[in-house]
A and B are shown apart, each in its own frame.
Chain A
Amino acid sequence: MMIQADVTIRLKKGMADPEGANTLKALTLLGFKNVKHVESMKTFRITLETDDAKNVEDEISEMCRKLLANPVIQEYSIKIL
């Protein structure tokens, strides 16, 4: 069966986020005065074909450890769609 999951990689709390800070500045310059904070994050939508639905999350966690996230600066969350 086909399973889809969204894997979101975000910076750990307290890590500098120049991309978010720069976007906040740009939005403010564009006149969006209500914007108080912007955080950047990245989402990968992964489609798998598997007969082993209950281990999908483990498999995706392994993908995060091996490639998608650097644990020094990032954390990840997995949402099965």
Chain B
Amino acid sequence: MKVKDIRVCVLRLEGTNCEEETAYSFRQLGADAEIIHLKQLTGDVREDEKRSLGDYQCLMIPGGFSSGDYVRAGAIWAARVKSAIGGDLIEFIEDGYPVGGICNGFQVLVELGVLPGLGGTMAAEPEIALTINDSDRFECRPTLLEHENTCVFTGSIPVGMISLMPSAHAEGKLTLPLGEEDKYLGKLIDNNQIVFRYVDPDGEYSGYPWNPNGSIYNIAGICNPEGNVFGMMPHPERAYERLMLPDWTRNTGSSNAEEYADGRLYFASVLDYVCSKF
């Protein structure tokens, strides 16, 4: 299919705050992105507002503080999705359509049990957790991500490339079941599920602040074994245009100044995938 025919569902809930930038990024690339509330998928709205996952070729769960981050970040959104449209989502994923979660969206995908997806498309209970940052603070800073394995959201990013994308979260420490860390990590590595890892400017796997949350193995983003569900803590939609980067005022006007920043490749990659697959 052609880019202009791709319909992207940018899902929101009370407290979501990155849906506009996410939809903007897709629209800039020519796709038809629609921001809808979860209730529009569960049918608790007027007839003309009702939507179905089948209307779309890509589902995005954007960042924010859904339901106030109460209970655990992403837990309430995940529980509502699972109980109302869990079956539709499983079908959507198994049909190969891409599902992306950014920041709070990553937390939702983990709480839903669709990431890491080791025990099937949607596990009955979460298999891993995104826990409170080691610093016990909300960390908002530019982060550098090394692209280690390709998924459908990173096909245009060369393996080994280091991207600059901002992180902004309080609960982003990827945590594996206690005592079974090596087993789980081994599976993630063997399945090529670790997409992005935090690095420092020299490309080394450094600790804080380059790893902003204390995530195991410096993991910033993982996909499911099939590669069509992808969650990451940093924000590609906050690194779409060059002018969104922290140093853009220092570099504007130079002949090297590029119009776009690294996050654009995330959106371009998934649209390329949908165009070629469907």
Contact residues of A with B, CB < 8 Å?
A: 12, 14-16, 18-19, 21-22, 65-68, 70-73
Could you tell me which residues of chain B, from 118 to 167, have a CB within 8 Å of some CB in chain A?
Answer: 125-129, 131-136
Q: Which of B126, B136, B177 has the most CB of A within 10 A?
A: B136
For the complex with contacts A67-B76, A72-B128, 10 further pairs of A-B residues with Cβ separation under 8 Å are A15-B175, A16-B131, A18-B134, A19-B136, A67-B71, A70-B125, A70-B126, A72-B175, A72-B176, A73-B178
Q: Report which of A15, A19, A21, A70 forms a contact with B178, defined as CB distance below 8 A.
A: A15
Residues of B within 8 A of A65 (CB): 125
Q: Is B187 an interface residue (CB 8 A)?
A: no
11 interchain pairs, CB-CB under 8 A: A12-B178, A15-B178, A18-B135, A19-B136, A67-B75, A70-B111, A70-B125, A70-B126, A70-B129, A72-B129, A73-B175
State the 10 A-B residue pairs at the shortest beta-carbon distance, nearest first.
A18-B136, A22-B136, A72-B129, A67-B79, A73-B129, A70-B129, A70-B126, A18-B132, A72-B177, A14-B178
Distance in angstroms between the alpha carbons of A65 and B173 in the assembled complex: 21
Tell me the nearest residue of chain B to A20, going by C-beta. Answer: B136
Residues of A within 8 A of B39 (CB): none
Could you tell me which residues of chain B, from 56 to 111, have a CB within 8 Å of some CB in chain A?
Answer: 71-72, 75-76, 79, 82-83, 111
Q: Do A72 and B136 touch (CB < 8 A)?
A: no
Q: Report which of A12, A16, A68, A70 forms a contact with B134, defined as CB distance below 8 A.
A: A16
Tell me the nearest residue of chain B to A40, going by C-beta. Answer: B132
Indicate whether A72 sits within 8 Å of B135 (C-beta atoms), given known contacts A12-B178, A67-B71, A67-B75: no
Q: What secondary structure prevails in chain B residues at the interface with A?
A: loop
In the assembled complex, how far is the CB of residue B183 from the closest CB belonging to chain A, in whole angstroms?
13
Indicate whether A68 sits within 8 Å of B71 (C-beta atoms), given known contacts A18-B136, A19-B136: yes
In the assembled complex, how far is the CB of residue B207 from the closest CB belonging to chain A, in whole angstroms?
14
Residues of B within 8 A of A16 (CB): 131, 134, 173, 175, 214
Q: Report which of A19, A21, A71 forms a contact with B125, defined as CB distance below 8 A.
A: A71
Tell me the nearest residue of chain B to A22, going by C-beta. Answer: B136
Indicate whether A72 sits within 8 Å of B132 (C-beta atoms), given known contacts A12-B178, A15-B178, A66-B79: no
Distance in angstroms between the alpha carbons of A15 and B129 in the assembled complex: 11
In the assembled complex, how far is the CB of residue B267 from the closest CB belonging to chain A, in whole angstroms?
30
- Interface bits B169-195 vs A (CB < 8 Å: 1, else 0): 000010111110000000000000000
Tell me the nearest residue of chain A to B75, going by C-beta. Answer: A67
Residues of A within 8 A of B178 (CB): 12, 14-15, 73
Residues of B within 8 A of A71 (CB): 125-126
Q: Which of A14, A18, A19, A66 has the most CB of B within 10 A?
A: A18
